[in-house]
Amino acid sequence: MSRLNDLLEKTLSEIREIMPWNLVDRMAENPELIILDVREPKEFETLHIEGSIHVPRGVLESACEWDYDDTVPALVTGRDKEIVVVCRSGRRSAFAAKTMQELGFTNVVSLKTGLRGWNDYEEPLVNSAGETVGEEFADDFFTSKVRPDQLKPKP
């Protein structure tokens, strides 16, 4: 049986990742670049990279095909476009990039360290009103809030 970390390790061996500073370069070099944010709606509303497309991980597969309520034309027609998938820390985006590869996307990568690393690298994030979000606010937002009952019980 695979656990999350096993699955993640296997997935990471099958996809490509880029670092936040590489994404800065790619944004400057490729105006066609698609940044795809696969976090949950509340997370995206709170902060995201300006200009990124939002498709929650849960509807990613149907967003990539015609004829669904979740269809995102830019994705369906973007199978050969450069796509950088982002999430909070780089796990969900890795799984999403792997799925997209299997769906025929030829140039998809995952942002290693996620938006958390992007913020640590002092790159800008905006909220759903388009206002810049403070670095400290973002830092706090990205901090894990695991409750005691979610921690692995001690033997």
- Residues in touch with ligand THJ (CB under 6 A): 87-92, 114
Nearer to ligand THJ, 44 or 105 (CB): 44
Least distance from ligand THJ to the Cβ atom of residue 87, Å: 4
Q: Which two tokens stand for residue 49?
A: 């990279």
Least distance from ligand THJ to the Cβ atom of residue 36, Å: 13
Least distance from ligand THJ to the Cβ atom of residue 7, Å: 12
Nearer to ligand THJ, 71 or 101 (CB): 101
Nearer to ligand THJ, 79 or 91 (CB): 91
Least distance from ligand THJ to the Cβ atom of residue 99, Å: 14
Decide: helix, strand or coil at residue 18.
strand
d(CA 65, CA 52): 19
d(CA 84, CA 125): 16
Nearer to ligand THJ, 62 or 89 (CB): 89
d(CA 56, CA 39): 5
Q: How many helices (H) and strands (E) does the chain have?
A: 8, 5
Least distance from ligand THJ to the Cβ atom of residue 67, Å: 29
Rounded to a whole number of angstroms, the CA Rg of the chain reads 16
Nearer to ligand THJ, 48 or 92 (CB): 92
Angle at 23 between CA 18 and CA 128, to 5 degrees: 120
